[in-house]
A and B are shown apart, each in its own frame.
Chain A
């Protein structure tokens, strides 16, 4: 009986150590080639703000020769 105790203890420690090897199956999968970063509010601003778009167009057009 006495000789069994260290074995059980060893087994318990072994099992405890093995729990550290647990790997979560909840993996985040990303589609390749799809932008993963933060959104850019400028895109929406350009889409919705007609005044800004007009201002930009005027500047772009100002590049024509006088």
Chain B
């Protein structure tokens, strides 16, 4: 059985936000809500690094551990999903998540939050697959169609990898080996010199 994970290769990410756009487009995410974000460290400084962050589909998900209504479930493939019909919008998952993945698209009167929304690994949610109801609630179910999550499939530099943890780690390991095995033909130091 696979363990689905995302991995963002910081040396490849060019902060184009293509993954963010692809996610928003594929899932019709409401205005003001980002299931995926690109975070840049040392922005504007030499050697800046960017990574694309969304729900990391944790093996022992802290969001599921704190949910008072137990609306989270993990599929056999390790995708962490939730049932919006059960969610009460308490926001505990938001406080528990180290990646800031849970989002709350609707703000009601007196600061009451709406149902939580997060990255589904493009695997939809509970209930019948491929229905309009599923799409409205959870977004696209690309996994059921045999496709990768839209963000990973759209990544122009293949910085964002999605798939079984072992396979993703294997691809990354290969890349690191190759980078270390030859002189830096491109990159920051080649273009701008050291510092």
User: Interface readout for A28-46 with B: 1 if CB under 8 Å, 0 if not?
Assistant: 0010111111111111011
Assess whether A35 is in contact with B70, with CB atoms less than 8 Å apart: yes
Q: Select which of A32, A36, A40, A63 is within 8 A of B71 by beta carbon.
A: A36
Contacts of B86 in A (CB 8 A): 36-37
Contacts of A61 in B (CB 8 A): 167
Nearest CB in chain A: distance from B32 CB, A: 26
- Interface 9-residue window, one of B14-22, B93-101, B103-111, B142-150: B142-150
Question: Which B residues, 137 to 157, have Cβ-Cβ distances below 8 Å to chain A?
Answer: 141, 143-144, 146-148, 152-153
Query: Is A11 part of the binding interface, using a Cβ–Cβ cutoff of 8 Å?
Result: no
Query: Is A65 part of the binding interface, using a Cβ–Cβ cutoff of 8 Å?
Result: yes
Could you give 20 example pairs across A and B, Cβ below 8 Å? A35-B83, A36-B86, A37-B73, A38-B83, A40-B127, A42-B75, A42-B141, A45-B129, A45-B144, A46-B75, A47-B76, A59-B147, A60-B148, A60-B164, A63-B158, A63-B161, A63-B162, A65-B171, A65-B174, A65-B175
A contacts, CB < 8 Å to B:
30, 32-43, 45-47, 52, 55-56, 59-61, 63-65
